[in-house]
Amino acid sequence: MKSSNDGVSSGLLKGAAVLSVAAIITKLLGTLQKIPLQNIGGDGVFGIYNTVYPFYTILITLATAGFPTVVSKFVAERHVLGGEAEKREVLRVATGVMALLGIAGSMTMYFGAPFISRLIGSSHLVLALRSAAPALLFIPLSASLRGYFQGLQDMMPTAVSQVIEQAVRVTVMIVLLLYLSGIDAPESLVAGGALAGSAAGGAAGLIVVLLYWRKYNKKTSKREYRAVANQTGNHTKGLSLLREMLYYAIPVCLAALAVPLISLVDTFTLPRLLTESSDELGTMIEVGVYNRGIPLVQLVTMLASSLSVLFIPVLAEMNLRGDREGIRKQSGLALKWFWLIGLASSTGLAILAEPINIMLYEDGTGTNTMIWIAWTAAPSALVAVTAALLQGLGVVRAPALNLLAAAAIKTALNVLLVPQLGITGAAIAGIAAYTAAAALNLALLLRQVQLRPRLVDAVLRPLAAVLAMSAAVLLLRLGADAVLPHGRLLAALESLLGVLLGAAVFAAAVLRTRLLSAAELAALPRIGPKLLKALRRMHLLR
């Protein structure tokens, strides 16, 4: 007979799996939608969109202010005690605050659009800023309801509403792009249409979560409704609850702000620094070209972030048990995995930058910049895994502070390098910023777990695997260029075959040099045993 604890653990695992899958789908849609955005709208529209979007993301983060996590925590605590009125009071206070923050953010973005565009340094941004503003009226309300359901350990409303929100956002964006481009609308209006998708997606996500709320309400008994009604109006208790919630929400918000801050640095520095050498629209085109390589790096970071989550509960459990040796082994394994994934991704993207650029964006403009941007994949993967490992050990603030330091480095280097090197200077600044954040996180983690990686395992053997992969992919490129006709089809073939060949050669080199042993593969949380079984079936590992 199973215990109730087993049932709770099983429910939590299923809920975590549902949220992980939803997060991967939404991030994948959000990243890949940038390709049709550039293809349909062109680099000017792409530049305007990517200049406005980080600013919009910061306002969304401020508007939600860590409240979904806090709502989830407070509702979960009250759910254990069975108090429906207390749970509803948490939701009422959180929704009120988030609605006010959302309205303030929306009005700032809409009415302040001319001032913000002047601050950034381009008048082409006004329509795009105003088109994204209505999203701030919907998304904070969705976030508070999602937090409520998560507190009840019901992850489906969050997962379904997130996927629907992103799907509607991308669909509306593409429809408006096609229509506005078809009537030869100016770039600023086309970019505004693309960002209007955010408002449509936000509204759709809110409708979905409200439908779940309606269904939940029908299950609530009349006695519970009376208790809720009696609870409402206790302003003193509401203010006390608000203070308590803000105490937890503000640190979460500050940590969340650190992530999009490096992108925001480019929003406020690139247009002004580039305008010195071209007009406003020309500047937006350059920003668009600069952003061509970023979705590829984001895919690697998304993969790293999704996989790194697997290590958090394992490390948290080991930390509670005081299993220092287990923590050391798991941390070492995670670092090795993500260093190899990041290194292979950076090298592969750099070598295949030209065919990938032509395959995705029709021409090779900005290939040199894309090569530099490719080298942010490795430190970005390390930032993701080290932050997750530190979180599992209970160290939450340091990774956020390290990202803030990285943003300061990015700002200083943009100012120094962009006037001299243009968008390539911004790409080099990005490498330095992410490398600094990765190094700071890594140094702290190694001290925490008392781990000392060997030079042979950390550098020499990975370098040998990368050289083998590079040689194979370069030979493929030389052969394809000599035999096949040039064009987008060749670029697509070269890119896809290059990725497959590079991954196969790199994996074979890693296994042959025993960079990862069978025991280390098996120790990978949840997916390790299945991966080991598959490799043995293919006779790649004994």
Residue 214: exposure state from Cβ atoms within 10 A (0-12, 13-18, ≥19): exposed
Residue 403 main-chain phi, psi, to 5 deg: -70, -35
In what helix (H) or strand (E) does residue 27 lie, and over which residues does it extend? helix 4-32
- At residue 4, the pLDDT reads 44
Q: What is the pLDDT of residues 473-530, one digit of tens each?
A: 999 999 887 777 778 888 999 999 999 999 989 988 888 877 776 666 666 666 667 7
* pLDDT on residue 251: 72
DSSP 420-436: HHTHHHHHHHHHHHHHH
Among 254, 252, 268, smallest CA distance to 401 is for: 254
Which tokens go with 414?
A: 């943009």
Q: Which pLDDT band holds residue 2 (cuts at 50, 70, 90)?
A: very low
Q: What is the pLDDT of residue 347?
A: 95
The closest of 302, 304, 310, 306 to 524, measured between CA atoms, is: 310
How far apart CA 535 and CA 178 sit, in angstroms, is 45
* Weakest-pLDDT range from 182-191, 255-264, 324-333: 255-264
388 alpha-carbon distance from chain centroid: 13
Report whether pLDDT(280) > 70: yes
- Contact 151/75 with Cβ under 8 angstroms? yes
- Token pair in block for residue 459: 């550098």
The tens digit of pLDDT for each residue in 441-460 reads 999 999 988 888 887 778 88
| Structure confidence at residue 83 (pLDDT) | 67
Query: How far apart, in whole angstroms, are the C-alpha atoms of residue 378 and residue 382?
Result: 6
220-252 tens-digit pLDDT? 655 455 555 455 555 556 678 888 888 777 777
Q: Which residue, chain included where needed, has tokens 């598959």? A: 534
What tens digit of pLDDT does each residue of 114-173 get? 999 999 988 899 999 999 999 999 999 998 898 888 888 788 888 899 899 999 999 999
Is pLDDT larger for residue 516 or for residue 430? 430
Q: Report the C-alpha gap between 174 and 243 in whole angstroms.
A: 43
Tell me: the pLDDT tens digits for 296-317? 898 888 777 777 766 766 777 7
Domain spans in the chain, listed from the N-terminal domain onward: 1-266
| 183 pLDDT more than 90 | yes
| Higher per-residue pLDDT: 538 or 511 | 511
Render 138-174 in DSSP notation, one character per residue.
HHHHHHHHHHHHHHTT--HHHHHHHHHHHHHHHHHHH
* pLDDT tens per residue across span 46-99: 999 999 998 898 888 887 767 777 888 788 877 766 667 788 888 888 888 889
pLDDT of residue 5 exceeding 60, the answer is: no
pLDDT tens readout for residues 348-381: 999 999 999 999 998 889 999 999 999 999 999 9
Q: Contact 126/106 with Cβ under 8 angstroms?
A: no
Alpha-carbon radius of gyration of the chain: 24
Six-digit token pair at 175?
A: 């429809």
- Which pLDDT value is given to residue 50? 92
For the record, the structure tokens of 296 come out as 């590829």
- Asked whether residue 9 carries a pLDDT value surpassing 60, the answer given is no
Q: What is the pLDDT of residue 300?
A: 86
Give 306: exposed, middle or buried? Use CB within 10 Å, 0-12, 13-18, 19+. middle
Q: What share of the chain is helix, strand, coil (3-state, %, to 5)?
A: 85, 0, 15
DSSP 229-290: HHHTT-HHHHHHHHHHHHHHHHHHHHHHHHHHHHHHHHHHHHHHHHHTTS-HHHHHHHHHHH
Q: What is the pLDDT of residue 324?
A: 83
- Note the pLDDT of residue 266: 92
Cα–Cα dist 255/240, whole Å: 24
Task: Report the mean per-residue pLDDT for the chain.
Answer: 84
Q: What are phi and psi of 467, to 5 degrees?
A: -65, -40
